[in-house]
Amino acid sequence: MRISRSIVPNLFTLANLFCGFSAIIAISDSKFYDAGLFILFAGIFDALDGFVARLTRSASPLGVQLDSLCDATSFGVAPSFLLYDVFLQHSHPFGILLASVPALAGVFRLARFNVEITSLEDKKYFTGMPIPAGALTVVSYVLFFGLDNSTVLFSQSVDAAVVGIIVGLIMVSRIKYDNLPRPSLKGIKENPLSYIVFIIICVSVIFTKGYALFPSMVLYIIFGALRHFYHKMVTVTKKAS
């Protein structure tokens, strides 16, 4: 086997998969907060593999496919299993189906992305919410809001199912969502507002010990949808005039 410099980002990608696998094991042991941390670490490795690939100029079609396979486990299967194990395992036969929606939609979105990809360059926008963002939405809901024992179990199950379905629909939609801002002087000069917002969100999540993450993801979903429909209306208006 010939060892090339692409092995470095691929190792980060495989670390993403290891974290996803570890999250599934933690969920099986009812260690839900540990599982959330593993999924968070998977997201960090997912961001680092792209950064390292660009830094070493070793982006490749193999890396793209490997990244999608690992993402399917860490950000598709693991969050869906978390949703099922916490809320929907008593809702047979529909519990399995409802819990699987984020995984099914996420894998479909990954496959669509791979088919439509035209360049290995980093993108400013994604068509449909990226699967890591979908995973963070589901996991942050479960850990910081869904585990509140003051609500009725049935209500929790319904809320969890609704969150999973909405996340799934947004991922397979054609709505454009921003990519994470990359740390570069050029990027900061071109779009300083996105960096400011990103830093504010990160700080708020840290200071609230994670509770601000789910509301932040909800705002991310709503903002992307509103911007999409606004541009649609502007386009239709221009064509009509």
List the domains of the chain with CATH numbers. 7-180+211-240 (1.20.120)
- pLDDT on residue 36: 94
Tokens read off for 2: 């010939």
CA distance 161 to 88: 8
Enumerate residues 6+ apart whose C-beta is below 8 A from 180: 47, 198
Can you tell me the distance from the alpha carbon of 167 to that of 74, in angstroms, rounded to the nearest whole number?
Answer: 16
Paired strand residues for 178: 125
For 104-107, which contacts have Cβ atoms below 8 Å and span 24 or more sequence positions?
104/76, 104/168, 105/134, 105/167, 105/168, 105/169, 105/171, 105/172, 106/71, 106/72, 106/75, 106/76, 106/131, 106/134, 106/135, 106/168, 106/171, 107/72, 107/76
The pLDDT profile of the chain, 241 residues, written as one tens digit per residue, is: 455 666 778 899 999 999 999 999 999 999 999 999 999 999 999 988 877 877 777 777 888 899 999 999 999 999 999 999 998 988 778 899 999 999 999 999 999 998 887 766 666 788 899 999 999 999 999 998 877 655 545 677 888 999 999 999 999 999 999 887 666 566 666 677 777 888 898 899 999 988 999 999 999 999 999 998 888 888 888 777 7
Exposure of 41 in the CB half-sphere (CA atoms within 13 A): 17
Helix (H, G, I), strand (E, B), or coil: what is residue 173? coil
Name beta bridge partners: 176: 127
Its pTM stands at 0.88
Residue 164 near residue 102 (C-beta atoms within 8 A): yes
